[in-house]
Structure 1
Amino acid sequence: MRSLLVSLVSLALALSVLAEPTLSPYTLHEKRDAIPAGWSRDRKYHATASVPLRFALAQNNIDSIGDLLLDISHPESENYGKHWTAAQVAAKFAPSATSVDAVRTWLEQSGVEPHRITITPSKGWIEVSSTVEEAESLLQTDYHVYGHESGAEQIACEGYHLPAHVAPHVDFVTPTVHFDAKIKRVKRDGHHAAIPIGQPGFGAGPKTSGVLDNIFTQLEDCDKQITPACLRALYGIVYDPVSTNNSYGIVEYTPQAYIQSDLDSFAKNFSTGLEGVSPKLVSIDGGVDQTSLKNFSYNGESNLDLQYGMTLVTAKQPVTLYQVGDMNLGASFNNFLDALDGSYCAFEGGDDPSQDGIYPDNVPGGYDHSQDCGTVKPANVISTSYGYNEADLTAKYAQRQCAEYAKLGMMGVTVLYSSGDYGVAGNGDLCLDSNGNQTADGKIFNPSFPSTCPYVTSVGATQVSPGQTVLDRENACQQVIYSGGGFSNYFAVPDYQKAVVAGYLENHPPPYSKTTYNTTGTSRAYPDISANGANYVVAINGNYSLVYGTSASSPVVGAIITLINDARIAMGKSPVGFINPTIYSSEFQYAWNDVTNGTNPGCGTVGFSSAPGWDPVTGLGTPNFPALLAKWLDL
């Protein structure tokens, strides 16, 4: 009997041990070094308030995504141009069942009832209905309310922790340390406030030196005014599209929108066959080509992008306009990516108030439908003239989004981003201080994102300097804006770029210490290439203005790649897709117009210097269309 009693006690003790949570020490998962510009910590958040915790599960095989993309993008690979389908990409990177089980088991053992745990259909995201007090216990953190100078508020923490056995299965958790530019903005009366112009980067957009009295149309005047004829002469763009299966997409974020009468005016002067023609509008999350708000800030970006993008690809190649976000909430890059990839939507979600636009938007006049999720087929080339500073986002958040651009590349999409207009400083001419804060008087270089993502093509700006002609070599842009460029603080240097970065640092070492920029030589450098970004003649609100910015450079490069795709498709070949491994290859090194003069000032310095070959001001140089076309047709 005693033996049986001892056995029963032992069994009970064993069962009680099994019932205890699986213990492992907590480790720091993410920490924010500084509060992003424009934000301040206001007060402690109520312990009993609800907070929707969302765990972004680690994607399966994500460590190999760079190699997989290189395999179909390097010109010497036997798999060059063999792009994947969206279904193949989704299946390859879907989080594993092991990750789902690890996080769910930990939550349940920590006292979260199963009915409060939701696993998204893609198994990429786990959502938990929680209180602040419980979330603080789960993540070993403290939540506060942060306010933005625009009147916005969101909850966040300085850092958070996860158990060591759970951490490898989670990319990041929201809401925690992230300050994406898209958050719900509410006025004191409870109604949505107008979103800042220039979404998703506050204040981002082209600049102008004013309205023009006269338009010059002769090539000898390209140092004063850039027109489509100047660009064709500079880059040798002579081509008439013939394919019916090609596509070119330009992304705009509401409330920025084009004006049709301005497109018509521009077409009358510069574009045969485009008068009365509109881009093909693809509305995402209520995106609308609004006409109620009109001035340079609202119309300058869209008019610039579309007037030059549409003109350079000619009336024979329709241009798709991805208009993202409604008038109340606007949108973030994630909202756009959600629409392209349903699996991304499921785990990156548009229903997270600390990250993205929340749809349906039930405010009168808002987009009162479910968010667009996997509803849009991406164009072969997508150009975006918006951006963040790396410091606006945490490294984990930026890396997660960067992987999505790699997936688009695997599907044959060329993704272009403008590199920024403040040289080595970030948007708003903000630099970093020694504590990582973005300030107007900081001295540390502030890289741009997504330009620093190794899976996009970053486009800087050049100019035809005063007194020069289209026959002369261009210089780095130093009129009104400076070409954004430098070295990432988040991303490692990709294989395709290692040689040129090492060569630049060895042969043209910048005169700055490691306290000024990332001097390791092992980080992603940008831009990749450039195009003219100064003195563009643009029709805006019934007048013509001179416009400046890498905002102009990106759609011009997009048009050039679109024409190259047209020629390849007409020959039965695939679109060029992710172009970086190709453009950095030895076969393509002479297909660029090298830019060797000029700098990109910022942060109290002259910035970096242009040099022969690649440099962090203008990249590899500007396009030589005939050479690029011939080489890509050979692949």
Structure 2
Amino acid sequence: MVLLKLHACVAATLVALTEALLVSRAATLPASIQLIRQAPAGDEIQLQIALKHQNIHKLESKLRSVSDPSSSHYGQYLSKDEVNALFAPSNHSRTAVESWLKDAGITAVSSRGPLVDFVTTVAKANELLGADFAWFDVEGHKKLRTTEYSIPDTLTAHIDLVAPTTFFGRTKSHRMIPDDETSELDSRQARNTTTCLSVITPDCLEEAYNYGSYKADPAAGSRVAFASFLNQSARQEDLTQYLNTFKLPPRNFTTVLINGGEDHQDPNGDIGEANLDAQFLAAVTKNLPLKQFITGGSPPFVPNLRITNASTNSNEPYLDFYETLLATDDEGVPQVLSSSYGDDEQTVPVEYAKRVCNLIGMMGLRGVTVLESSGDAGAWAPEVAWVGSAGGFSNYFERAWYQKAAVKTYLEESIPVEVKSYYKRGGFVDFGGRGFPDISAHSLEPWYQFVNAGRPRRTGGTSAAAPVVAGIIGLLNDARLRAGQPTMGFLNPWLYARGVDGLLDVTEGKAEGCGGIDLQSGNPVPGAGVIPWASWNATKGWDPVTGLGLPDFEALRQIAVNGTKA
């Protein structure tokens, strides 16, 4: 694109007549994030404005109505058009924002539903937003960010956030790699279920989660999908080899590209996370339709904008991903979505976290179950079923209504008063926050076996647990659809109210953290805080180590279809 000239007189008039309101300020940056240099004024920058939704105050009550099993409206999900009619930003908001950009001399603008994308120079962006964009090193990755920004107070009723601005997180896969990842097993040894003490295979999963005898019917309509970010994509050849190794029926998956995502089938690419998602979902669901959504995010492509230097764009992918799903027709939306990527909560601007949470809530209104791996460091949104190993309490979201009793019991019976006092004094934990995880599955030691770049490998982490649980929910949806019932939808209220009786409670063990070590790599984290005695114990009932417990498919199926366990 041609570099835009500043309309100095217009800008001066706007500044004179409009008061700026600080919208976002990044938290104190950790030592792992370092300023490299100020961004040259002429550098191009691509930014995205998220317009405010209408009626967002109605979202929680609407979601509760269709997801609480005691509600008379349980399972009465909304269509795409109905959700859009309730929450779509007003035309007035779009016009106000586009006029603001036009008056500032910005012409490279593209509107996509609730999002307005534009390209400008660093100098103009700094002027427009009262920002100071600079290049930062975020764990070895360069990002163009600002520590704060403002918008005119006349636009606060129209704008939720501008991104990427104060988002310093580095999206990560929650895949764990063992030291002996290259250790291989021949297919005969891998097929033998006696190896479950040394490696996890499809037979081991069937036995552990009690779904081996269930036969799904793809004609019933259950649809399962997984999300791929970070330029990763699953390889069909690797899935075929995995299925052949374990004598599972052959199958394919379809791929949808979002916002410039690319489907890389090169075995030399970064494919590990996407491969394990595809293979473990295929192993559990067997013959149900499987879809992969690949979202570009480093950088994204925005239709109708000409960007001369794409390397300056590093938008986070979540807004584009969920907005695209919400804009998808009802028959194209999966009923279960597994995602094994995430950011540490404290690196995510609170307004961004709330926006994404609202989008996931709208997915719940449409009957979609979203399962996220809680990873090794932290998690947030209450509208997500977190599949965990990491656990704790959110600093952004208060305790969710559906888990209040379960978490209250844990806090009263399992954490001594002096420990709670210690955590509170240090500001380490907000015990009033949303507790996570909600449900668990095996993740580490013995490792899972999968195929990567044509070779058997071992892997683990909550990246492995999330697709396994997602597959089990896909089977539950199959059972309900065949019984003439709606899909599970937003899962959490049902889990805490009824599904808990179909889970295997884990009452021994503990999770430790805050030792200054990256639990994925085992390496020290520069500048990381060390908190003595930072750990959670697994106990009877909900706990921040294993949530409510591990799934027993047959027990869950009986409860989901018949209302009670036989």
Residue in 1 that maps onto 2:540: 612
Secondary structure of the residue aligned to 1:514 is helix
| Aligned residue number for residue 470 of structure 1 | none
- Normalising by structure 1, report the TM-score: 0.71
Instruction: For residue 353 of structure 1, report the CA deviation from its aligned partner.
Output: 2.5
Matched, 1:553 2:465: yes
Deviation at 1:578, TM superposition (A): 0.9
The residue number in structure 1 matching 2:405 is 499
Deviation, structure 1 residue 381: 0.9
CA contact (8 A) 1:599 1:606 kept: no
Q: CA shift at 1:149, angstroms?
A: 5.9
Between the aligned partners of 2:311 and 2:95, the Cα distance in structure 1 is: 23
Could you report, residue by residue, the CA deviation over 1:500-535 in whole angstroms, capped at 9, with x for unpaired residues?
111111111163412656533221111110011132
Superposition deviation, residue 269 in structure 1: 4.0
CA spacing shift, 1:615–1:51, aligned 2, 3 Å: same
Matches within 5 A, 1:12-91: 26-35=20-29, 39-47=33-41, 54-91=48-85
The C-alpha deviation readout for 1:466-490, integer Å capped at 9, x for no partner, is: xxxxxxxxxxxxxxxxx21111122
Residue of structure 1 aligned with 2:158, choices 166, 169, 174: 169
- Relative to structure 1, the CA distance from residue 544 to residue 606 in structure 2 (aligned partners, 3 Å threshold; closer, same or farther) is farther
* AA of the residue aligned to 2:201: T
Hey, what does 1:415 align to over in structure 2? 370
Structure 1: stretches of 5+ with no match in the other structure? 1-18, 182-199, 340-349, 358-370, 427-446, 461-482
Residues 1:383 and 2:338 aligned together: yes
In the alignment, the residues of structure 2 paired with residue 175 and residue 317 of structure 1 have an alpha-carbon distance, to the nearest angstrom, of 37
Q: Once the two structures are superposed, what CA deviation does each residue of 1:586-611 show, in whole Å capped at 9, x if it has no partner?
A: x3332110011111111124521111
RMSD after superposition: 3.5
Contact between 1:383 and 1:417, CA under 8 Å: does it hold in 2?
A: yes
Work out the CA distance in 1 between the residues paired with 2:501 and 2:343: 32
Asked whether the equivalents of residues 537 and 547 of structure 1 are also in contact (C-alpha less than 8 Å), the reply is: yes
Asked if 2 retains the 8 angstrom alpha-carbon contact of 1:206 and 1:300, the reply is no
Alignment of 1:307-386 (within 5 A): 307-314=279-286, 316-325=287-296, 353-356=313-316, 374=327, 377-386=332-341
Distance 2:163 2:294 in 1: 26
User: Cα offset for 1:59?
Assistant: 1.2
Is structure 2 residue 207 aligned with structure 1 residue 236? no
In structure 2, relative to structure 1, the CA distance for the partners of 1:557 and 1:516 (3 Å cut) is farther
Q: How far apart are the structure 2 equivalents of 1:383 and 1:556?
A: 9
Task: Report the alpha carbon displacement of residue 77 of structure 1 after superposing the two structures with TM.
Answer: 0.9
Give the counterpart letter for 1:290 in structure 2: Q
How many Å apart are 1:98 and its aligned residue?
5.2
| 1:73, distance to aligned residue in structure 2 (A) | 0.6
Offset of 1:378 from its aligned partner? 2.2
Equivalent in 352, 356, 368 of residue 397 of structure 1: 352
Q: Distance in 2 between matches of 1:579 and 1:240?
A: 22
Q: Which one of the candidate residues 493, 510, 514 is aligned to 1:603?
A: 514
Please name the residue that 2:132 is paired with.
142
* 1:159 corresponds to 2:148: yes
* Alpha carbons 2:338, 2:470 under 8 Å: kept: yes
CA contact (8 A) 1:303 1:539 kept: yes
Compared CA separation, residues 515 and 165, structure 1 to 2 (3 A): farther
Give the whole-Å Cα distance in 1 for the aligned partners of 2:463 and 2:501. 25
- 2: distance between equivalents of 1:282 and 1:128? 24
For 1:305, the equivalent position in structure 2 comes to 277
The alpha carbon displacement at 1:165 in A equals: 4.7
| Aligned residues with identical type, % of pairs | 31
1:205 corresponds to:
175
Q: Is the 8 A contact 2:372 2:387 kept in 1?
A: yes
How many residues in Structure 1 have an aligned counterpart in Structure 2? 507
The separation in 2 between residues aligned to 1:213 and 1:20, in whole angstroms, is 67
- Rg comparison, structure with higher value: 1
Residue identity matched to 2:203: A
Which string of whole-angstrom CA distances, capped at 9 and with x for unpartnered residues, describes residues 548-578 of structure 1? 2111111111111111111111122221111
Q: Which residue of 1 aligns with 2:435?
A: 525
How far apart are 1:121 and its partner, in Å? 5.9
What one-letter code is carried by the residue in structure 1 that aligns with 2:159? V
Change (3 A) 1:313 1:28: same
Question: 2-side partners of 1:255 and 1:135: how far apart?
Answer: 27
Which residue pairs with 2:556 in the alignment?
A: 628
Mean Cα deviation higher: 156-165 or 404-413: 156-165
Residues 5-28 of structure 1: per-residue CA shift (max 9 Å, x gap): xxxxxxxxxxxxxx9989675443
8 Å Cα contact 1:487/1:517 also seen in 2: no
- C-alpha separation in 2, matches of 1:514 and 1:73: 33
Tell me how far apart the structure 2 counterparts of residues 104 and 40 of structure 1 sit (CA, whole Å): 34
Where in structure 1 do 4 or more consecutive aligned residues deviate above 6 Å?
A: 19-22
Structure 2 distance, partners of 1:374, 1:513, is 43
Taking the aligned partners of 1:262 and 1:74, their CA distance within structure 2 comes to 40
- Say whether the 8 Å CA contact 2:443–2:462 is kept in structure 1: yes
Q: Secondary structure at the match of 1:249?
A: strand
Give the Å deviation of 1:543: 4.3
Residue 390 of structure 2 is aligned with which of 474, 481, 484?
A: 484
Match of 1:112 in 2: 103
Q: Name the SS of the counterpart of 1:617 in structure 2.
A: coil
SS in 2 for 1:416: strand
**C-alpha contact (below 8 Å) 2:148/2:165 kept by paired residues:** yes
Q: In structure 2, what residue type is equivalent to 1:630? A: Q
Aligned-partner Cα distance in 2 for 1:151–1:254: 12
2:198 — aligned with what?
224
Over residues 170-208 of structure 1, what are the superposed CA-to-partner deviations in whole Å (9 max), with x where a residue is unaligned? 211235322364xxxxxxxxxxxxxxxxxx42x642322
Residue identity in the other structure for 1:528: D
- Structure 1 residue matching 2:535: 3-state secondary structure: coil
- One-letter identity of the residue aligned with 2:474: T
Amino acid at match of 2:158: H
Give, in whole Å, the separation in 2 of the partners of 1:556 and 1:607: 26
The separation in 1 between residues aligned to 2:107 and 2:256, in whole angstroms, is: 36
Structure 1 window deviating more from structure 2 (216-225 vs 595-604): it is: 216-225
What letter is aligned with 2:199? Q
Tell me the CA shift for residue 218 of structure 1.
5.1
Who is 1:268 aligned against?
Answer: 244
Q: Decide whether the 8 Å contact of 1:594 with 1:613 is kept in 2.
A: yes
Distance (whole Å) between structure 2 residues aligned to residue 127 and residue 172 of structure 1? 12
- C-alpha distance in 1 between matches for 2:206 and 2:164: 48
**Match of 1:320, as an amino acid?**
K
